[in-house]
Amino acid sequence: MADQVRVLVALHASDEQYRALLDRTALAAEVALHESATYVQIGVDAGRVWHRQYGAGTWGSNWFARALAAVVYIFVNDYHEALYLTRGTDQHGQLLNGRN
């Protein structure tokens, strides 16, 4: 991964067209991450409307899932070390909010 980053940084510095392309791609990725960073669809059913992350901390080469976890959480251990339960909706499927 570090080698890939070096190549992208070199491309960004080398040419205005690459710079524009990489900048657009980075912005699109940022938007996609934050649009995906809701508790509604994260995880798999753990019972009684609770969810847990699938494959938490064992991302392999799923860079989007790794980045999404960084947006939603501060840090995620793998399932051998911790289980993170989340809940984003009430018993009627409505999004939770801080008012109630």
Q: How many residues does the chain have?
A: 100
Instruction: List the domain boundaries for the chain.
Output: 1-36, 39-100
Output the pTM of the full model.
0.58
User: What is the residue-level pLDDT of the chain in tens, covering all 100 positions?
Assistant: 789 999 999 999 999 999 999 999 999 999 998 888 776 656 788 887 787 777 778 888 888 888 888 887 777 888 778 878 878 777 788 888 888 6
Return the ∠ at Cα 31 (arms to 24 and 19), rounded to 5°: 15
Q: What is the pLDDT of residue 81?
A: 84
Nearest Cα to 54, choosing from 89, 88, 83? 83
